[in-house]
Amino acid sequence: MTTLKKITKKSCFSRLNGQRVVKRVEGIRTIEDIDAIRDTLIQQLKAQGAPLEAMSEDDQGFHFSNGQFVLKPKMHREEVGILNVRSKDYVFVNDEKRAVSGDTAQGDTEYRETGFTRRYPNGMTIHFDLAH
């Protein structure tokens, strides 16, 4: 019988520090969903009999003449970049040089030899795995 060695947070982050990783996001809408969000909002306007001019769009989101708005997602479904781990947090820098940080103590986290998965209360899950 083979027993698996438990991977600790320290050994996982030590292995990933400075390495190319793939970051995958699940459970939330991402930049790749913007077209579907737009289509849904247009369909809702049509169903309500409202003119399409009641909605405008800019880089931040969709704005409605009644003052309501829907923000556009800011995260990509999948990105490749470098993970830099510090004592209490990490910084993921994607290939376009956009940096995103996270707290190493935050969330429900599962550590693996090749990466880690963090689950958040809002249903979002982020996976970081070594890039091949």
Domains and CATH numbers, the chain: 9-28+76-130 (2.30.29), 31-71 (no CATH)
pLDDT at 106: 63
Residue whose pair of structure tokens reads 């781990």 in the numeric block: 85
So what's the pLDDT on residue 88? 85
- Per-residue pLDDT, 108: 87
pLDDT at position 5: 66
DSSP one-letter string for 73-126: P---SEEEEEEEE-SSEEEEEETT--EEEEETT-SEEEEETTEEEEE-TTS-EE
* CA-based nearest residue to 105, from 77, 80, 86: 86
Give the pLDDT confidence score for residue 1 in this predicted structure: 53
Q: Given this model, what pLDDT does residue 4 score?
A: 58
pLDDT tens digit at each of 132 positions of the chain: 555 567 888 899 999 999 999 999 999 999 999 999 999 999 999 999 999 999 999 999 999 999 999 999 999 999 999 999 988 889 999 999 999 888 877 668 999 999 999 998 889 999 999 998
- For the entire predicted model, the pTM comes to 0.82
* C-alpha to C-alpha distance for 20 and 71, rounded to whole angstroms: 30
pLDDT at 6: 76
